[in-house]
Structure 1
Amino acid sequence: MTDSTTPANSDSGITATEVGGITAVPGLLTGKVAVITGAAQGLGLAMAHSLVDSGARVVIGDMNAEAIEAAVSELGGSDIAAGVVCNVSSLEAVQELADTAANTFGGVDIWVNNAGITRDATIRKMTEQQFDDVISVHLRGTWNGLKVATALMREQDRGGSIVNVSSISGKVGNAGQSNYSAAKAGIVGMTKAVSKEVAFKNIRINAIQPGFINTAMTAAMPQHAIDSKLADIPLGRAGEPEEVASVVLFLASGLSSYLTGTVTEISGGRHI
């Protein structure tokens, strides 16, 4: 499978992946500013492309300075994108990310808590540090993003949309991922709780739960493991990063204006 795009409708200007998913709606997010953590590569970068191609300007946070520089260039340069080296475990660092968006592009309308790591091991072998590291990046990092983003959006008084990236493993649990599964499940509860706190300010918070997606990490898996996962997916294939990004685009935009506190599974029907 490829991530190249082809026109889905020559009259609408909508672009689509070869598997048929809409990846951008030109003009949908014109005038909007988005912040995406963990966005210098992989799923986060696909999300950034989708939002930029739909008219938004984007600030990406990531730990890899070299990858940030390349991503900003790929997204269209400094008029369209900016990047900040950001450890989402640090509230101060996340605040700097928000300040960059406000100072560079005038505020934040969309915030995507996407940054994540894995430290897989069975509970017998997992160390306290491995557990703490994953909880710190995923759960604390999402909390930091929510705290900073909601504060800024309330101050701006124009509402906003926040998307938290959970995982299907937060629904069903994965062996060898007690840390990751716990963090991703926690993100769902956090999404629902905070969405109730800020809805009156027209700040919407939703979560997504991607399943088996074609990324560098999944490509490195042994073929027998890939085949086993594919056998459990009713649609019969892995998802593409652009298909995750298209759901983020929907949740970030006014197309989902009456959705908050929801969880969307992007799993091809796996674990339904």
Structure 2
Amino acid sequence: KGILTGEDIWCQGFSEPDHGSDLGSAQCRAVRDGDEYVINGSKIWTTMGNYAKYMILLARTNPNTDRKYDGLSFFLSPMKVPGIDPKPIRKLTGEYGFTQTYFNDARIPASCLMGEEGKGWQLAMQTLQYERGAEAGAAGGLSMVRIAFEDMIEMLQGKQRDGSEVLQDPVVRDELMQLLIEDKAISIGEKRAHIGALNNDFRMALPLSTKLRWTEHARRMRLAAVRLQGAGGSLYVQDSQAIQGGFWQRAYMQSFSATIGGGTSQVQANIVAEHVLGLPK
């Protein structure tokens, strides 16, 4: 109930300063001590970590395994315990949305362990399926709040460049049409993904690739919106002369987070290559 009402804020403890996309190499340690686990290490990019009541935590309980994925365990850890210290990180946009969370002999109940000790990798991958939008479009952060292509066209209406309206430039119109085609293709692809008969050739191809295609498209669209403002594109949100208060400049900088969080674009491309096309690692 607390999750649904927003009373209980959760954060994700997966990535580490030296182990982001290579999540299997995570080194944050969890050592069993009676009815508790003692946690040492740090996690980074823990969104809202300084407000969170709980964390889904992936920590290494066994450092001596043949496969690096086998020594990881999955915990539902409380955040308000001694030894857990989330430090806010200032983003490129000037905001503080992420934290680096430090664990210094932090003790959490052994009952926080989900599943079997050392079997946390499977749970983490299932969780990431939802984050990446592969399961019924369940989650996806930035991709859940779409800035429509039409919003950009409305912003550019009447804007001048070299003495004429920017939207009348044939080169600009061609660029915008390419973006619009891609935008519509992604939207139609999401609908197609829910029709089994249309996905027999490459099963799960559309759900697994949507995160990659949408986040990269969103980044390019926002870049175009800033660039087509001309000199005004160099202004930012604090500048009174910025178009729409610098909304598009901020949106462009923010768009990079979606190409990283939940698996970088390079990682997503590898996932599609291996799990859809059957290519070797």
Same fold (TM over 0.5): no
Structure number, greater radius of gyration: 2
- Normalised TM-score (structure 2): 0.24
- Relative contact order higher in (CA < 8 Å, ≥ 6 apart): 1
- Normalised TM-score (structure 1): 0.25
